[in-house]
């Protein structure tokens, strides 16, 4: 009887409308709770940090495994190495606490996409890494931590981060500055002047499609044969994918799934030619 009534009511569009909209909203309602909780618990106002959901961490390892031809378990081990790096986490906390930025930073260190960046450096043992747009230096100091581990294993490498903001990159100090340097000024101009062959290039500066593409064009002839390009804008534009098509590179896209956070997540675009092994 009830089923018959429901079937009858389903014919009326307006009654159906509310039922359908109420169901669709269940996919988003929890976000409002996450926003409220974040409003109380976090101090961040930009460049949000979060953990990745456990399955998402595994997908990231599996994606990098495809791009590099490395067993995903080795990549998970590098993620763990970073998560266990208490010296790095203490450094980030201490330096942040010594600046006025502490008002806008959370005490918990969350690497999310940078887990992937770290693993690429550990796998590739690159001589030259460039990250455009260093901001505070969370990515920069993470990449330098990977270069220091490589160095301890006998593989020398150097990091260069660009930023237009003269106050950027304050996390890059102490032992991390031994392998890393900030190039201040407009990223394209710094890249034009850069003369060394680039093994790993990470785009994360001006996030307009035009600027992103211009960065790729500027470094095109400076990339080593098997260089890897990581795009932090790949969830917004198709520019890295287009660049990879034009320069005969493969392209993979990884989408972040933040854990208990309202932000929908960014992505990592991966441009590569040959596998490492
Ligand atoms: C999203 S933040 C980078 C985050 C950083 N990569 C990290 O891992 O935390 C973007 C940075 O790009 C810088 N930026 C914006 N336009 C730029 C430009 N034309 N040249 C150099 N840096 C720029 C900003 O000052 C900002 O610090």
pLDDT given at position 11: 81
Q: How far is the CA of 190 from the centre of ligand 1 (A)?
A: 13
pLDDT given at position 12: 81
Smallest CA-to-CA distance from 120 within 144, 146, 100, 95 is with: 146
Residues with CB under 6 A from ligand 1: 47, 131, 133-135, 138-139, 162-165, 168, 186-187, 204-206
- pLDDT of residue 277 exceeding 80: no
- The most distant pair of C-alpha atoms in the chain lies apart, rounded to whole Å, by 79
pLDDT given at position 1: 81
Lowest mean pLDDT among 48-57, 223-232, 234-243, 268-277: 268-277
C-alpha Rg value of the chain to the nearest Å: 22
- pLDDT of residue 16 exceeding 90: no
pLDDT given at position 73: 98
Measured between alpha carbons, how far is 39 from 220 in angstroms, rounded to an integer? 42
Stronger pLDDT, 9 or 138, i.e. the higher one: 138
The arithmetic mean of pLDDT across residues 139-167, rounded, is 98
Mean pLDDT of the chain: 95
pLDDT given at position 276: 62
pLDDT given at position 10: 77
Helix (H) or strand (E) holding 253: strand 250-255
The reply to whether the predicted model has a pTM over 0.85 is yes
Per-residue HEC secondary structure of 64-128 comes to: HHHHHCCCHHHHHHHHHHHHCCHHHHHHHHHHHHCCHHHHHCCCCCCCCHHHHHHHHHHHHCCCE
For 170-189, the pLDDT digits (tens) are 999 999 999 999 999 999 99
Measured between alpha carbons, how far is 111 from 106 in angstroms, rounded to an integer? 12
Residue nearest (by alpha carbon) to ligand 1 atom 2: 135
Determine the residue of 133, 146, 159, 231 to mutate for testing ligand 1's pocket, defined as the one with the most ligand atoms within 8 A of the Cβ atom: 133
The arithmetic mean of pLDDT across residues 98-120, rounded, is 94
**Alpha-carbon separation of residue 40 from 34, 44, 49, 127 (angstroms):** 10, 11, 15, 43
Measured between alpha carbons, how far is 194 from 188 in angstroms, rounded to an integer? 10
- At residue 3 the predicted structure's pLDDT band, cuts being 50, 70 and 90, is confident
Q: How far is the CA of 206 from the centre of ligand 1 (A)?
A: 6
For 184-233, the pLDDT digits (tens) are 999 999 999 999 999 999 999 999 999 999 999 999 999 999 999 999 99
Q: Which domains does the chain have, with CATH numbers?
A: 2-31 (no CATH), 42-272 (3.40.50.150)
Please state, for a pLDDT cut of 70, what percent of the chain lies above it: 99
Helix (H) or strand (E) holding 209: helix 209-219
- pLDDT of residue 68 exceeding 70: yes
């Amino acid at each position: 009887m009830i089923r018959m009534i429901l079937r009858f009511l389903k014919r009326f569009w307006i009654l159906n409308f509310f039922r359908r909209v109420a169901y669709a909203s269940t996919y988003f309602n929890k976000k409002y709770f996450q926003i409220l909780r974040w409003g109380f618990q976090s101090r961040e106002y930009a460049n949000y940090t979060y953990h990745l959901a456990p399955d998402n961490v595994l997908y990231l390892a599996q994606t990098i495994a495809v791009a590099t031809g490395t067993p995903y378990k080795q990549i998970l081990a590098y993620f763990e190495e970073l998560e266990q790096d208490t010296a790095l986490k203490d450094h980030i906390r201490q330096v942040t606490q010594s600046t006025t930025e502490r008002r806008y930073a959370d005490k918990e260190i969350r690497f999310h996409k940078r887990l992937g960046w770290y693993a690429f450096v550990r796998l590739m043992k690159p001589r030259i890494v460039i990250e455009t747009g260093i901001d505070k230096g969370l990515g920069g100091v993470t990449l330098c931590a990977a270069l220091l581990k490589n160095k301890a294993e006998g593989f020398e490498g150097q990091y260069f981060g660009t930023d237009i903001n003269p106050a950027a990159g304050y996390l890059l100090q102490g032992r991390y500055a031994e392998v890393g340097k900030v190039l201040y000024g407009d990223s394209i101009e710094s890249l034009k002047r850069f003369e060394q062959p680039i093994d790993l290039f990470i785009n994360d500066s001006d996030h307009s499609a035009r600027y992103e593409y211009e960065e790729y064009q500027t470094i095109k002839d400076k990339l080593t044969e098997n260089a890897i390009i990581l795009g932090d804008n790949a969830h917004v534009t198709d520019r890295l994918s287009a660049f990879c098509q034009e320069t005969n590179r493969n392209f993979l896209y990884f989408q972040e799934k933040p854990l208990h956070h309202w932000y929908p997540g960014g992505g990592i675009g991966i441009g590569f030619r040959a596998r490492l092994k």
